Amino acid sequence: MQTILNIFSYWDSALAVVLVLGGLIFFHELGHFIAFRAFKVGVITFSIGMGPKIWKVKRGKTEYCLSLLPFGGYVAGVGEYDDEVESLGFTQEDAVTSRAPWQRLIIAAAGPLMNLLIAWLIYWGLTAATGLAVSQPQVGGILPQSAAEAAGLKPGDMITAIDGVKIERWGQVPDIVGESGGRTMQVEVEREGRKQIFAMTPTRRERTNLFGETEIAWLIGVQASGAVRYEEKGFFESAVLGLQKTWDMIDLTLTSVKKMITGSVAAESVGGPIMIAQMLGEQAKVGIVPLLLLAALISVNLGLLNLFPIPVLDGGAIVFCLIEMVIRRPVPEKAQEWLMKIGAGLLIALMLFATFNDVMRWFK
């Protein structure tokens, strides 16, 4: 019986990977498709999935199809990959190359922007449906030989105030302690319905931050329990909070990339498709809300990745359009071809490196 349950659990995780990754890439391509239509550029093919086509239907001059590999999809605009426009039943007026550079720039940016929009809609919807998740200031663990251990704090204690400042969320605790300068603090906690106050003197200790970096900070030696409460929010307030959450994830992603480039974060932390699939599978087992939160984060990463100024990515196309707008003529085709080859090589190298990291993590 347990074996059967494990099989179903495995397939649930696999389905989550297919739906999330496939869905996010599909919406990315849908953004390009909408932009093509908005500027009246002909679309040859809109495929859900990649590889051999297993089903297709033609509407007007566009072929809509379902392909074998359920990851992502693609949109082929007229003149984007093939100069033989007339042989496909279109005219030169339908070709994307006939559009002004600013229009092609919008077409290139539409896919990544769709991913950012999807992330915002997920955060908006979850906040409206479940409320705003707030990490409670509850003690989950006590570090040995710490001020909290010496004072007698226990797991489960709810920190309600520090030096008279009311504590409503966990994030306030490290912030206030970190700014203490090492002075003795009065920490008020609620334990089994009773209020208790402890005097604690923070000490300088090592800790690992969100990016895996080791840093020295003033600490009292408590760890969060992970307990969360939900604050009900209105529909439009949820939209604003969703936008703020999306921006926070954008900032987090860009900061992570910056730290990787500067070397402050180890290159071994770079993850690829295997790690993403593992994370999706794990969140699928926990519940739909954690899965959607991870999907939103992946969508932000997918959108930003495609905006990087690397040829073969949308960001590379945007750069070519910007150069054309400045110099009043297209970047020479030969130059574009060579830059695209270099960009493709860099992406392949990055993918291989990330996959290698995933495999090494798997064995560890």
Which residue, 66, 68, 72, 67, is CA-closest to 23? 72
Residue whose C-alpha is closest to residue 219's, from 204, 241, 235, 232? 204
**What residues contact 107, with CB distance under 8 A and at least 6 apart?**
32, 35, 36, 39, 41, 77, 96, 99
Q: With contact defined as beta carbons under 8 Å apart, do 292 and 111 qualify?
A: no
Q: Which residue has the tokens 């909290």?
A: 148
Q: Count Cβ atoms below 10 Å from residue 197 Cβ, excluding itself.
A: 11
Of these residues, 29, 63, 190, 215, which one is catalytic?
A: 29
User: How far apart are the C-alpha atoms of 297 and 257, rounded to whole Å?
Assistant: 14
Element counts in the chain: helices (H) and strands (E): 9, 12
Compute the distance between CA of residue 341 and CA of residue 77 in angstroms, rounded to an integer.
21
Chain position carrying tokens 């900032």: 251
Provide the token pair at 93: 């007026």
For the beta carbon of residue 188, count every other beta carbon within 10 angstroms.
18
Kind and range of the H or E run holding 218: strand 214-219
DSSP 8-state code for residue 223: E
Cβ-based neighbours of 84, under 8 Å, separated by 6 or more: none
Question: Using CA atoms, how far apart are residues 339 and 212, in angstroms rounded to an integer?
Answer: 34
Residue 29 annotated in active site: yes
Q: What are phi and psi of 198, to 5 degrees?
A: -120, 140
Which residues, 6+ apart, have CB-to-CB distance to 74 below 8 Å? Answer: 29, 45, 46, 47, 50
> How far apart are alpha carbons 200 and 198 in whole angstroms?
6
> Rounded distance, CA 16 to CA 7, Å?
14
List, by residue number, the catalytic residues: 29
